[in-house]
Structure 1
Amino acid sequence: MLVDRRGAVRVLSTDSHGYSAARYSPEGGRIAVEIREPLANDIWIYTLASGTLTRLTFGGTNLYPAWTPDGKRVVFGSDRDGAMSLFSVAAAGGGVAERLFSSSNPVWEGLWSPDGRTLIYREIAPATGRDIWYRRAQGDASPRPIARTQFNERAPALSPDGRWLAYQSDESGRDEVYVRPFPPEAGGQWQVSADGGTQPFWGRNGRELFYRHGDQLMVARVETTARFNVRSREVLFSGAFLWGVDDHTNYDVSPDGSHFLMIAPEPGEQTPQVTVVLNWLDELRQRQRTAPGGR
């Protein structure tokens, strides 16, 4: 459904599906989405112009879609070969899914760097739990750790310029959002959330980092030129939107930054629907003008 700042609602699809992990394509005209059904868990493509769904995956449990930078393929996790691994399939449909690499540990989700040269992914290891790694697409493709500790690191999100990796970690005793340089050899870590945070997601301009705090969607305004710095934090809106499994980021922001793609249950039902929150930027500006000391 479409939800604007006045509360007007328009449903994107009248079909009742167990939607999860919806992701806009780079150009914004398509949505890759995981649909959970009692006997199947697959990746589909929803085309906004036509309102049609096209199934991409068949067989196994298929999770957490992510687009390649050119919008031609979709990366996803699947257990079709036994253990959870990362696969890639043509977004147009009809192609054979290709396994990206092999690992001794289950690999649940992945994303490509903006230049398409690096694959970042999350795996679960017996000794260290949930960790974040990366591999180069060409040359030395050996796995390299980004965040591998005795704590749980999840929900990786790379900035649009490919220089900063946001993620959530429970190293403080509760989940918070952190940022590290990428590649990680430069060292350093900055905490973004102040009193708990999960599921970070970058705005396309690279100056805003969104995350969830309970039912609130937060925005941190950041500087990333010389070094990383959090300038401010603010609540954008609140709502009983669905959480991703294992804190996988269960929302997206449109390419133009004007609205959010959320997953919300229908009133009185457990079945989720795709939701877009529109015009948040206009609402935020109005809120700033009417706040004490606002301009």
Structure 2
Amino acid sequence: MKREPNRRQRGAVARLLLSVLMATALLAAACGEPDPIANPEWVAGAAPKGRILFVQHGDIYLWQDGKIRRLLELGNAASPSWSPDGSRFAFVRFGDAFSDLYVAGADGQGMQQLTQNEPPLQPGTQAYVANSVWALDPAWMPDGQRIVYASDLNSVKNYLWLIPSTGGAPQQIPASTVPGDNVESPTVSPDGTRIAFAHRATSDDGLRRRTDLWILNLTTGEVVPLVQGGDGSYAPAWSPDGNWIAYVGRQGEANNLYVVPAGGGEPVQLTTSGAVASPTWSPDGTMIAFLQLDGGTFEAQYVEFTVEPGGRPRAGEPKRLFEAEAIDAPSGLSWAP
């Protein structure tokens, strides 16, 4: 039986809307040709280092120690993600009603396609759309040998799959189907035993949709909620020490940075600007970078992260990391040494 193309297309659109949290404002601002300019106006005593990947107009860019350069000029790339050793990165390329996973070397060379999701049918036809497949939101397993991602392969909903990072047949993670609806934005614990992800759920009144965070145990197959309620929780990111998960929490129209203990507990709000998206941790876990809506476009900012003697997390004042025109917020940031 053929799958319904409208449901498939709605799934992709919903992912973008939920991830960016403010897509309309971003699209209205994303005009003109980009000319990225690094902004190394560091606050005294703070000097973030390393390499951060981000996307601008479908091309993949690298921020490194205050300078920006383009790694891949593709026009349809999204969601770059560094491998654990920083020698490669995975990313998505969008086609007409489908998308595929790719990997490339740290310098953008040696690009390899991992999935083959375009159907051998006439583009633009109902059959073409119905048989196309999405591959979204890649995240690496700690061994660097596998990549977890969201896909509607063999389904009308997005669940979690694993694929070898050098190519091969993908395998579904059956436990990711337990919550029952589309999942997105997987992030893996440093020991590789658990995956946190966002799950789109219907509100209690049945009239609204929200996104909750769940934890999947790869050893036991157990799936449990981590953050539920409110108006939505998005874009989880596991800390390098395994103790925390950063995410974007939505309350009304405000989207702020939160952290929650990875083992469950009370979330703690770290920012108050109300316009945050796509957090990522520094490799040493002392900083969290994120995208901040600023005058109709996004810039990268960061906070210094510490844990008080009593165990309560806290963050310093947000500081500017870099700015560039029309950063693609759904694609997020990925930080490596």
TM above 0.5, one fold?
A: yes
Q: How far apart are residue 251 of structure 1 and its match?
A: 1.7
Give the conservation status (yes or no) of the 8 Å contact 1:17–1:37.
Answer: no
Counterpart in 2 of 1:129? Answer: 210
Give the TM-score taking structure 1 as reference length: 0.77
Q: How far apart are residue 63 of structure 1 and its match?
A: 0.5
Q: How far apart are residue 118 of structure 1 and its match?
A: 0.8
Residue number among 32, 42, 53 corresponding to 2:100 in the alignment: 42
Counterpart in 1 of 2:139? Answer: 66
Give the conservation status (yes or no) of the 8 Å contact 1:20–1:244.
Answer: no
Give the conservation status (yes or no) of the 8 Å contact 1:84–1:108.
Answer: yes
Give the conservation status (yes or no) of the 8 Å contact 2:71–2:107.
Answer: no
Q: How far apart are residue 253 of structure 1 and its match?
A: 1.3
Give the conservation status (yes or no) of the 8 Å contact 2:135–2:149.
Answer: yes
- Distance (Å, rounded) in 2 between the aligned partners of 1:156 and 1:43: 20
Could you say which structure has the greater relative contact order, defined with CA pairs below 8 angstroms and 6 or more residues apart? 2
Counterpart in 1 of 2:33? Answer: none
Counterpart in 1 of 2:279? Answer: 200
Is structure 2 residue 234 aligned with structure 1 residue 154?
yes
* Higher share of residues assigned strand: 1
- Distance (Å, rounded) in 2 between the aligned partners of 1:211 and 1:114: 20
Residue number among 168, 173, 177 corresponding to 2:248 in the alignment: 168
1:170 counterpart SS class: strand
Q: How many residues align?
A: 246
| Structure 1 unmatched ranges of 5 or more | 257-295
> What amino acid is aligned across from residue 117 of structure 1 in structure 2?
T
> What amino acid is aligned across from residue 160 of structure 1 in structure 2?
P
Please give the per-residue CA displacement for 1:15-61, whole angstroms capped at 9, x wherever unaligned: x3411000111111111000112253101001235712111112211
Q: Which moved more, 1:164-173 or 1:153-162?
A: 164-173
Give the conservation status (yes or no) of the 8 Å contact 1:21–1:244.
Answer: no
Give the conservation status (yes or no) of the 8 Å contact 1:34–1:62.
Answer: yes
Classify 1:97/1:8 alpha carbon distance in 2 versus 1 (closer, same or farther; 3 Å). Answer: closer
Give the TM-score taking structure 2 as reference length: 0.68
- Distance (Å, rounded) in 2 between the aligned partners of 1:72 and 1:200: 24
Classify 1:3/1:163 alpha carbon distance in 2 versus 1 (closer, same or farther; 3 Å). Answer: closer
Q: Which moved more, 1:21-30 or 1:227-236?
A: 227-236
2:318 counterpart SS class: strand
Give the conservation status (yes or no) of the 8 Å contact 1:222–1:232.
Answer: no
> What amino acid is aligned across from residue 212 of structure 1 in structure 2?
L
Counterpart in 2 of 1:238? Answer: 323
Q: How far apart are residue 7 of structure 1 and its match?
A: 6.2
Counterpart in 2 of 1:75? Answer: 148
